[in-house]
Amino acid sequence: MHVIESGNVAAANGVKLARAHVVAAYPITPQTPLTEKLSEFVDAGEMDAEYIPVESEHSALSVCIAASSAGSRPFTATSANGLLYMSEQLHWAAGARLPIVMCVVNRGIGAPWTVWNDQQDAFSQRDAGWVQLFACDHQQIIDTVIQAYAIAETVSIPVMVCYDGYILSHTYMPFEIPDSDTVDGFLPAFSPEYALNPAKPCNLNTVTLPDIRPDVRGDTAPGYMEIRHNLHTDMREALNVIKTVDEKFYSIFGRGGHCFIEPYNCEDAEYIAVCIGSLSYQLRDVVDALRQDRIKIGVCGLRVYRPFPDEAIRETFKSAKGIIVLEKALSYGYEGALYADIKAALYDCDNRPFIHNYILGLGGREIKTQQLLDALRQSCTIDIPVPQWIGLKM
């Protein structure tokens, strides 16, 4: 079924099709219409789930942790300072290896208060142990939510599905809602390996000693360091799972095929602009204009930020002369976080391209097409040794 609706409604339909059992939610702009739509689905009997309104974002994720520990398929969503309020529980969910899915509707972080879009919220939590997936349009939002459950439940790691506040959350675009029976064939019912069960009492996530030790059965159990090593190793393995899930999704629904990096006009590109989220689609018009001036440039939208797809980065950019990284986030006191990660991934390349960095769009600052044209044209002609700011008014 094809509809024209908002990005938040696209996400809600993805959660509904994934047959989440528990939805715990606290409202925060621009996420609120997503969880409101889910409450409508539950109230109308269209979704067989328990909807739990809570008093804070910390509680919302706590409910999801409890539900997942009991073997249910949970969902929550948040934005900006709400995500930061969850921070303690973000680490708990990852360390407990719970396959929770959460939408993060990207918004700038206070203080000072802003309700407008940038991606600093999700980027600030990139080391919390969650898989982070980014969508560029409404179709990718609904499709990524469905895939996120398949990924999370395969690797037992929670997943954030991130998309730009207002630019995607509140705008209306056409997208397809898949048939529920077909989604059921893609995403089977959740069957956890471990779950709380009164018939089989157990302790989960008790105090862990620094070293390995025998468990209650006498088997050697990992210590804290081994547990962290396992999470890291499985997070790296999640790259293969993401690819496998995307291939399966593509074979059934005919969408996807670029699970790590979505390219545009990159076949013969000497220069490649790289960004995350909806900006990659805006840059397509800019690339088309520069192509008319015989500048061989393309654009790539990164779909996965954690685990970082370093091998895909090297393979995609190995023949380029220059990489131009544009990002709506900043690692204060250093440079753009995506820029730093791409530099590290390309460090050992024999023919390493130059890499430039632009910071833009923070707190919803308008990103004008002419500014993008000027920045990309400049990067293709001169060396720019330090990160530049687009749209800064000093």
Structural Rg of the chain based on CA atoms: 21
- Cα 126 to Cα 72: distance, rounded to the nearest angstrom: 25
- Cα 83 to Cα 94: distance, rounded to the nearest angstrom: 14
Q: How far is CA 11 from CA 17, 93, 154, 294, 375, in A?
A: 10, 21, 21, 39, 33
∠ CA 282-316-374, nearest 5°, is 35
Q: Cβ of 376: how many Cβ atoms within 10 Å?
A: 25
- The pLDDT tens digits of the residues spanning 165-191 come to 999 999 999 999 999 999 999 999 998
Q: Which pLDDT value is given to residue 81?
A: 98
- The pLDDT tens digits of the residues spanning 78-102 come to 999 999 999 999 999 999 999 999 9
Which range among 110-124, 161-175, 205-219, 369-383 shows the weakest confidence by mean pLDDT? 205-219
Beta carbons of 389 and 359 less than 8 angstroms apart? yes
Residue 195, pLDDT above cutoff 90: no
- The pLDDT tens digits of the residues spanning 133-143 come to 999 999 999 99
- Cα 64 to Cα 26: distance, rounded to the nearest angstrom: 12
Q: How far is CA 124 from CA 58, 85, 182, 227, in A?
A: 17, 12, 36, 23
Q: What's the mean per-residue pLDDT of the chain?
A: 96
Q: Which pLDDT value is given to residue 330?
A: 95
Rounded to a whole number, what is the largest CA-CA distance in the chain?
A: 71
Percent share of the chain, pLDDT over 70: 100
Residues 115, 308, 173, 101, CA torsion sign = negative
- The pLDDT tens digits of the residues spanning 275-319 come to 999 999 999 999 999 999 999 999 999 999 999 999 999 999 989
Mean pLDDT for the stretch of residues 231-239: 98
Say what the pTM is. 0.96
Polymer length of the chain: 394
Residue 6, pLDDT above cutoff 90: yes
Domains of the chain in start order, with CATH, are 2-186 (3.40.50.970), 261-389 (3.40.50.920)
Match 């220069």 to its residue by tokens: 271
- Where does the pLDDT of residue 327 fall: very low under 50, low under 70, confident under 90, or very high at 90 and above? very high
366-375: long-range contacts at Cβ-Cβ below 8 A with a sequence spacing of 24 or more?
366/391, 367/279, 367/282, 367/391, 369/282, 369/285, 369/286, 372/282, 372/283, 372/286, 372/326, 373/286, 373/289, 373/290, 375/324, 375/326
Q: Which pLDDT value is given to residue 394?
A: 82
Residue 198, pLDDT above cutoff 90: no
∠ CA 243-245-246, nearest 5°, is 65
Q: Which pLDDT value is given to residue 199?
A: 84
With H, G, I as helix, E, B as strand and everything else as coil, classify residue 312: helix
